Amino acid sequence: MVDHLFRHQYGKMVAILAKIFGPNHLDLIEDALQDTFLKASLQWRKKQPEAPEAWFIAAARNRVLDLLRQVQSREKREASLPHSAVALEIQDFFLEHEVQDSQLRMLFLACNPNFSRSEQICFALKSISGFSQKEIAAALLEKPETIKKRISRARQKIQDQNIKLAYPSPAQIEIGLQGVLQIIYLIFNEGFHSVKKDQLIDRDLCGEALRLCKLLLTKESFRSGKLYALFALLCLNSARIEAKTRGQEIIDLKNQDRSLWFPPLIKLGQDALMRALADYDDRSAYHYEALIAYEHMRAEKFEDTDWEKVLQYYQNLEDLLPSQSLFLAKASIYLQLQDPSAARAELECIDPNKLAARQYLYHATLAEIYSLENKFDLAQKALLQAIKTCSNQLEGDFLKAKLEDINKP
Amino acid sequence: MKEFMLLFLGPTYEELGLSPEELQGRMGKWFAWGNKMQEQGILKGGDALYGHGKRVKGADRIVTDGPFVESKELIGGYYQVMAADYEAAIEIAQDYPDYDLGGSVEIREVVKFER
């Protein structure tokens, strides 16, 4: 059976039913679907259907009839019944392109500006991606009750503000799409930049983000340089997923085993990036992040990296959206370029307390600057500070080894 | 060879609120176990049971709706298997997929008519 079949089918069925009945019935819809998947899991223990997807579609059609009855008794008003759905061939809602359309509408619904960012992410993972509250909680390192609250708040807003399953108006579509891209980017980063006990869930998040990005690409009018650039970025980063962790530790670019990088994803990312640059005029942070990732992946060894180019892309990023971690990244690039005073100038823009878990990188970078300037006393001090603030064991060991090097006469 | 009944007791997936992904994973394990026993030629039959049901009781045949026991004792399914003795049956039961969900397997020998 295909991996994640149930999860993906769940998302599809929620979307189809939400289109027929309206997103104000999402509670009812998801309860009804839970039952369908439970049944499948029991029935398929002994014998699995030859076409599982067709089985689910048939089940969803039956659910339509069940729901019609339930909605009828719940609303007790003929007027609000989806007459059109009954009049229309229900069949049509199950055509492949209709299903895709429903899912895309769900994606815009999830990114409704009336939802808070955290509600958007939870709603998307639950109703589009088919994660349970428990799974979302594990993925976002939150309590299940918190996730439950966020989802029910979002659903309440759908009720209260009568939010429909519709695309934004032509005037709003650009902004709407930006929100959608941002949510996909955030979902990906939740998976990519964290290390959890259960690493499967991190990969699931990355996979989901990629899938949603691909879904957007199916619709021609949604394609843009930004979308291709985001897709490129997700592919290029995903290609490194095997190499970037060892157990519970994150391994940085410098120390990754580059033979573990996955060439097909690099190729896919490269192609998407070329399209983003050649076929469209818009430029975004996704472009430059993808270009940075691509420069790193082009280098056979860490030492072969074209630092001048990487630096240029970071500068472009900073022009769009300055941030503390950009200064840090630029400082370490200047170090690669053997320019300690430029590195120092970048560090001076940073408040190390705002770096949270990455604070140790600030001190480690400072130590390197001092080393290049032959100020070993100060380098030693900075390294000790780095070790003190570092919670990553692999990095901590690395810093300690450095300290020993300096201590040697 | 003797025949044994394996009764699966424990909370239902419904009560546990398993996600679609988890349901697929569980289903896959059950399927693999069933296949394995089929290949070994030791599986006589069996099925999953829905959690709800009816009970008819007493001289007056009073009918009540389930569930009838605490969920950890609820029978969620059964298999009939062939095994040399209890030890072999226990070995078979090692592959039951839901121990981690608080489930258990009760093994009972089936009474056979002897000539």
Residues from chain A that touch B30, judged by Cβ atoms under 8 A, are 45
What was the pLDDT predicted at A86?
56
Q: Do A40 and B30 touch (CB under 8 A)?
A: no
Q: For residue A370, name the pLDDT band (cuts at 50, 70, 90).
A: very high
Tokens of B66: 């389930």
Q: Provide the shortest C-alpha distance from residue A303 to chain B (in Å).
A: 42
Q: Provide the shortest C-alpha distance from residue A47 to chain B (in Å).
A: 8
Hey, CA dihedral for A12, A13, A18, A20, is it positive or negative? positive
List the single residue in A with minimal CA-CA distance to B37.
A46
Size of interface A-B (CB pairs under 8 A): 64
Instruction: Tell me, yes or no, if A254 comes closer than 8 A to chain B by beta carbon.
Output: no
What was the pLDDT predicted at B115?
77
A3-53 pLDDT, tens digit each: 899 999 999 999 999 998 899 989 889 988 988 999 999 999 988 999 998
Residues from chain A that touch B97, judged by Cβ atoms under 8 A, are none
Of A6, A44, A134, the CB nearest to B20: A6
Q: For residue A109, name the pLDDT band (cuts at 50, 70, 90).
A: very high
**Topology of domain B2-109, CATH:** Alpha-Beta Plaits (3.30.70)
Residues from chain B that touch A38, judged by Cβ atoms under 8 A, are 13-14, 18, 23
Q: Provide the shortest C-alpha distance from residue A153 to chain B (in Å).
A: 20
φ, ψ of residue B43 to 5 degrees: the values are -90, 120
Contact A26, A102 (CB under 8 A): no
What is the rounded distance in angstroms from the CA atom of residue B1 to the CA atom of residue B85?
8
Containing A67, the helix (H) or strand (E) segment is: helix A52-75
Q: Do A46 and B31 touch (CB under 8 A)?
A: yes
Q: For residue A398, name the pLDDT band (cuts at 50, 70, 90).
A: confident
Contact B87, B61 (CB under 8 A): no
What is the rounded distance in angstroms from the CA atom of residue A363 to the CA atom of residue A309?
25
Residues from chain B that touch A10, judged by Cβ atoms under 8 A, are 20
Instruction: Tell me, yes or no, if A86 comes closer than 8 A to chain B by beta carbon.
Output: no
Pairing of strands B2-9, B62-65: unpaired
Residues from chain B that touch A204, judged by Cβ atoms under 8 A, are 21
pTM (2 d.p.): 0.85
What was the pLDDT predicted at A84?
53
Q: Do A132 and B17 touch (CB under 8 A)?
A: yes
Q: Which residues contact B26 (CB under 8 A, 6 or more apart)?
A: A41, B13, B18, B97, B98
Residues from chain A that touch B27, judged by Cβ atoms under 8 A, are 40-42, 44-45
Q: Which residues contact A123 (CB under 8 A, 6 or more apart)?
A: A109, A110, A115, A150, A151, A154, A155
What ipTM describes this predicted complex? Answer: 0.89
Q: Is the pLDDT of residue B70 over 60?
A: yes
CA-nearest of B45, B25, B23 to B34 is B45
* Stretch A251-278: mean pLDDT: 93
Q: Do A46 and B13 touch (CB under 8 A)?
A: no
Instruction: Tell me, yes or no, if A40 comes closer than 8 A to chain B by beta carbon.
Output: yes
Q: Do B17 and A134 touch (CB under 8 A)?
A: yes
Q: Do A134 and B19 touch (CB under 8 A)?
A: yes
